[in-house]
């Protein structure tokens, strides 16, 4: 009798275990079937976005970075939305790649998501975020980018200057002027900090170019002295000449004529083209 009762207990336990296994199996099968059914209703683009979104959970940094690059190449808002989570990735290279991957969201949404990363501890992230903000054309990014003109890293200051030109907001002109001429009194440096003359050629070129893009005559008092400074690097002077031609104010013509015989033939040619452009802009009908 005791053996019979023991056997019954074992059978009941086995039945319970079997029922539990069947329940788990059926749930798993149902979930897989549902997932397959859901995917059957997705477009090829949606399937690819989902594939890359799942790769963002990979333990391999290069996989996550590659997934973001593929999402960016789709040029689609939903692909950019899938990339948002990577802005907080622990890897700097992934965060930097994510900055360009979210740019197909509405401009102001992209800018709002990017702005906190302008203070990222990693130089490359700050640099790439500044470039990305320029592409958003968001005026909300102007003041934060002006602050980055005082960043300790050359690459970040340069990218901020480039971005301000892409946005084209005249509010950036005084700070860009101060990059070329710190004595202007509009230095982007923090208050109570003595302004230092910018030494990095890329930053100086970027500031000059951006002043041309913005097109405000308030940039002339900085651009003309750079053009006339024979100690300045030739490519910086060329950028100043190009910017003066783009702005198109005739008061720059005398300074441009002065460099028509410059030792740098490319500077002379750029000045010549700038004068022609200004003349066209001043002719009747323009």
- Please report, for the domain that includes residue 140, its CATH number: 1.25.10.10
> What is the rounded distance in angstroms from the CA atom of residue 278 to the CA atom of residue 247?
8
| Predicted pLDDT of residue 169 | 98
Q: Which of 67, 90, 105 is the last residue before a domain boundary? A: 105
Closest by Cα among 259, 206, 203, 268 to 230: 259
| Region of residue 70 (left: phi > 0; alpha: psi -120 to 50; beta: else) | alpha
Give the number of C-alpha atoms closer than 13 A to the C-alpha of residue 181, restricted to the C-beta side: 20
Q: Look over the chain and give the mean of its residue pLDDT values, rounded to a whole number.
A: 88
| Predicted pLDDT of residue 34 | 46
| Predicted pLDDT of residue 248 | 96
| Predicted pLDDT of residue 9 | 62
> What is the rounded distance in angstroms from the CA atom of residue 68 to the CA atom of residue 83?
6
Instruction: Let me know if residue 282 belongs to a domain.
Output: yes
Highest mean pLDDT among 8-22, 25-39, 148-162: 148-162
| Predicted pLDDT of residue 197 | 83
In this structure, what DSSP letter does residue 263 have?
S
Q: CA angle 51-54-55, nearest 5°?
A: 90
Rg (CA), the chain: 30
Q: CA angle 84-85-87, nearest 5°?
A: 75
- 131 and 160 in a common domain: yes
Instruction: Let me know if residue 17 belongs to a domain.
Output: no
| Predicted pLDDT of residue 42 | 83
- 158 and 249 in a common domain: no
Q: H helices then E strands: how many in the chain?
A: 15, 0
Please determine, for residue 57, whether its predicted confidence score (pLDDT) is greater than 80. Answer: yes
- Weakest mean pLDDT among 41-45, 106-110, 200-204, 266-270: 41-45
Please determine, for residue 228, whether its predicted confidence score (pLDDT) is greater than 80. Answer: yes
| Predicted pLDDT of residue 41 | 78
- 207 and 125 in a common domain: yes
- 243 and 153 in a common domain: no
| Predicted pLDDT of residue 104 | 97
Of residues 35 and 52, which shows the higher confidence score? Answer: 52
pLDDT digits 0-9 by tens, 17-46: 555 555 555 444 444 444 444 555 789 999
| Predicted pLDDT of residue 31 | 45
Range of the domain at 240: 223-286
- 168 and 246 in a common domain: no
Highest mean pLDDT among 128-132, 179-183, 277-281: 128-132
Instruction: Let me know if residue 39 belongs to a domain.
Output: no
For residue 195, what pLDDT band results from cuts at 50, 70 and 90? low
Length of the chain: 286
Report the percent of the chain where pLDDT is more than 90. Answer: 78
Highest mean pLDDT among 31-45, 185-199, 202-216: 202-216
**pTM for this model (two decimals):** 0.82
Instruction: Let me know if residue 62 belongs to a domain.
Output: yes
Number of domains in the chain: 3
Question: Longest Cα pair distance anywhere in the chain, in angstroms?
Answer: 118
Instruction: Let me know if residue 29 belongs to a domain.
Output: no
> What is the rounded distance in angstroms from the CA atom of residue 178 to the CA atom of residue 187?
5
> What is the rounded distance in angstroms from the CA atom of residue 214 to the CA atom of residue 102?
25
| Predicted pLDDT of residue 102 | 98
- 121 and 100 in a common domain: no
Element (H or E) spanning 19, and its range? helix 2-40
Closest by Cα among 196, 205, 257 to 226: 205
| Predicted pLDDT of residue 39 | 58
Closest by Cα among 208, 192, 215, 198 to 241: 208
- 180 and 237 in a common domain: no
């Amino acid at each position: 009798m005791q053996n019979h009762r023991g056997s019954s207990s074992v059978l009941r336990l086995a039945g319970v275990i079997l029922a539990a296994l069947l329940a788990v199996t059926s749930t798993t099968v149902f979930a897989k079937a549902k997932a397959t059914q859901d995917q059957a209703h997705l477009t090829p683009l949606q399937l690819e976005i989902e594939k890359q979104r799942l790769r963002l959970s990979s333990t391999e940094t290069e996989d996550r970075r590659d997934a973001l690059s593929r999402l960016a190449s789709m040029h689609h808002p939903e692909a950019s939305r899938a990339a948002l989570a990577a802005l907080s990735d622990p890897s700097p290279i992934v965060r930097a790649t994510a900055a360009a991957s979210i740019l197909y969201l509405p401009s102001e949404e992209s800018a709002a998501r990017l702005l906190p990363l302008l203070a990222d501890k990693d130089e490359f992230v700050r640099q790439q975020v500044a470039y990305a903000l320029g592409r958003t054309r968001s005026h909300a990014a102007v003041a934060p980018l002006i602050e980055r003109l005082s960043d300790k890293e050359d690459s970040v200051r340069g990218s901020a200057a480039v971005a301000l030109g892409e946005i084209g907001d005249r509010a950036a002109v005084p700070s860009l002027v101060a990059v070329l001429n710190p004595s202007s009194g509009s230095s982007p440096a923090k208050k109570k900090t003595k302004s230092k003359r910018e030494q990095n050629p890329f930053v100086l070129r970027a500031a000059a170019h951006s002043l041309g893009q913005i097109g405000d005559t308030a940039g002339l008092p900085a651009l003309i002295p750079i053009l006339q400074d024979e100690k300045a690097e030739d490519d910086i002077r060329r950028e100043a000449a190009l910017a003066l031609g783009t702005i198109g104010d005739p008061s720059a013509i005398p300074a441009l004529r002065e460099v028509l015989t410059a030792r740098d033939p490319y500077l002379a040619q750029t000045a010549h083209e700038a004068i022609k452009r200004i003349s066209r802009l001043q002719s009747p009908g323009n």
